[in-house]
Amino acid sequence: MSELSQKLSSYPAIATVANAIIADWPEHERYIDARFKDDTPEFFARTEEFAKLALTGMQDDLALYCADYRWM
């Protein structure tokens, strides 16, 4: 298990989004890892809430959103 996977294991919504981005854009994993490197548990908890809301809004289109994110 990578360090990023371990860090996100307690935050399933963030992990879902991060893993979907990495699946579409593997080179972006270094950025995601650096992005979450020094975050506090409080920040992760808040980000998890936003990730849950985002996933609800995306419904079954997460892969499309990830592809669009990469395109931008």
φ/ψ of 13, rounded to 5, equals -70, -45
What does the chain come to in residues? Answer: 72
Whether 3 has a pLDDT exceeding 90, the answer reads no
pLDDT digits (tens, 9 = 90+) for 10-29: 999 999 999 999 999 999 99
Q: Is 8:15 a contact under the CB 8 Å cutoff?
A: yes
- CA-nearest of 24, 41, 29, 31 to 5 is 29
* Digit-coded pLDDT (tens) for 28-39: 999 999 999 899
d(CA 17, CA 65) in angstroms, rounded, equals: 10
